[in-house]
Amino acid sequence: MSAATLPNAATHSFRLTEEQEQLRREIRSFAAKEIAPHVMEWDEASEFPSAVVKQLGRMGLLGMLIPDELGGAGLGYVDYMMAIEEISAVDGSVGIIMAAHNSLGMNHIYLAGNAEQHRRYIPKLATGEWLAAWGLTEPGSGSDAAGARTTAVRKGDRWVLNGSKTFITNGAHADVSVVIAVTDKTQGTHGLSAFIVEKGMPGFRPGKKENKLGLRASDTSELILEDCEVPAENLLGKEGEGFVDSLRILDGGRISIAALALGIARGAYDAARKYVKQRRQFGKAIAEFQGIQWKLADMATQLDAARLLTLRAAAIKDAGKTTTSESAMAKLFASEAAVRICDEAVQLHGGYGFIKDYPVEKFYRDVKLCTIGEGTSEIQRMVIARELLKRP
């Protein structure tokens, strides 16, 4: 990756450190050895890569944002986005498994949880012994997530949850899920609360596993709660603040989806760059045609612009500042650019781009989720506009 700076480089350096470059090399070599040979087999069978997920845990990649004392790697968002990019350049399915675990499920427990919840859950999650999921979306409420219908009613020392969550990444494989439910429907966005629900708790089970266009080796499942009794101490954060906390979680999560898009697009771009140098038509390599060169130039420029926006959001997050609009801009631009880049990568392969023997076919399918998950492009534009209009 080329080092780059922004005008306010005095506060945010965009140069990776030697440690970060070393980590990048390690992850790249791991992905090439342990993931690349299995990508199509997992994709076709929709097979969750359990063994690789355990290996990610051993490498510290499932506790990246968690401090050492809680069993994590004590790294920041710049390291995290770089890790997701490297993994997703080989397989976006593994990238989204990491993202849902690190920046959604586990991060919600880390950011909103109390000391006892940290002690109980974080070390096991950060080392990859346990996997996390995060359940906000419901069949009737996606973009309008505050319109959730799942309820939680306090009964003595327990909360009783009823409802269902849909499209939950890691849903059927997670040991621990964070679930958002309505605790007081008169309070609007301040009437939802978050709960930690463990696998095997009575009344809690995964439902339908989705059969998807892309990211097929990742698990996207329904979560069903039927009179599910959760101990009172599993309320996560303050009662009524679950939705507001979720928005904070999404500020970080959107950086991971931007990085997922970046990785998938880079995988597609690299494959296309290699292919156009090899493929010959009209007596020469197609890379010699200016029409092809301009496509590559546009792809590379969009990729760098997406990376810079994502790095900016990650660096500001690491500086402890709010990144609502920076995260939304990175996610919006990176995901839409990545869709265009993967489309061009297929085009540059001609008919071979439509065939499963070449990797761009899968990148093209996988990348589409990036303009949808953790808020669609339309919702990112709403978030950005709201932030812009707040400014004096």
Binding site for ligand FAD (CB under 6 A): 100, 134-137, 142-143, 167-169, 212, 215, 220, 369, 372-376, 378-379
Q: How far is the CB of 231 from ligand FAD (least distance, A)?
A: 23
Q: Which residue has the tokens 């342990």?
A: 34
CB of 110 to ligand FAD, least distance (A): 17
Distance CA 134, CA 165 (A): 9
Quote the least distance from Cβ 83 to ligand FAD, whole Å.
19
Instruction: For the CB of residue 136, give the shortest distance to ligand FAD in the complex, in Å.
Output: 3
Instruction: Give the span between the Cα atoms of 144 and 153, in whole angstroms.
Output: 22
Q: How far is the CB of 3 from ligand FAD (least distance, A)?
A: 33
Residue matched to tokens 């940290």: 118
User: What is the closest distance, in whole angstroms, from the C-beta atom of residue 198 to ligand FAD in the complex?
Assistant: 17
Query: Residue number with the shortest CB distance to ligand FAD?
Result: 142
Q: Coil, strand, or helix at residue 315?
A: helix
Is residue 179 within 8 Å of 161, Cβ to Cβ? yes
Integer Cα distance of 281 and 283 in angstroms = 5
At 208, which amino acid appears? Answer: K
Closest to ligand FAD by CB, 272 or 337: 337
Q: Is 374 a catalytic residue?
A: yes
Q: Which is nearer to ligand FAD, 152 or 286 (CB)?
A: 152
- State the minimum distance, in angstroms, from the CB of residue 148 to ligand FAD: 10
188 or 350: CB nearest ligand FAD: 188
CA distance 257 to 253: 7
Nearest residue (CB) to ligand FAD, 128 versus 275:
128
Residues 6+ away with beta carbon under 8 Å from 371: 335, 336, 339, 377
Of 91, 121, 88, 87, nearest to 107 (Cα)?
A: 121
Report which of 173, 198, 37 is spatially closest to residue 97, judged by C-alpha positions.
173
Whole-angstrom distance between the N-terminal and C-terminal Cα of the chain? 37
Catalytic-labelled residue, pool 86, 198, 374, 378: 374
CA separation for the pair 291, 265 (Å, rounded) = 20
What is the token pair recorded at 37? 């040979």
Whose Cβ is closer to ligand FAD: residue 315's or residue 324's?
Answer: 324
User: 75 by DSSP, 3-state: which?
Assistant: coil
Paired tokens of 296 = 């590559």
Residue pair 199/208 in contact (Cβ under 8 Å)? The answer is no
Q: Which of residues 4 and 385 has its CB atom nearest to ligand FAD in the complex? A: 385
257: part of which helix (H) or strand (E)?
Answer: helix 242-278
Residues with a known catalytic role? 374
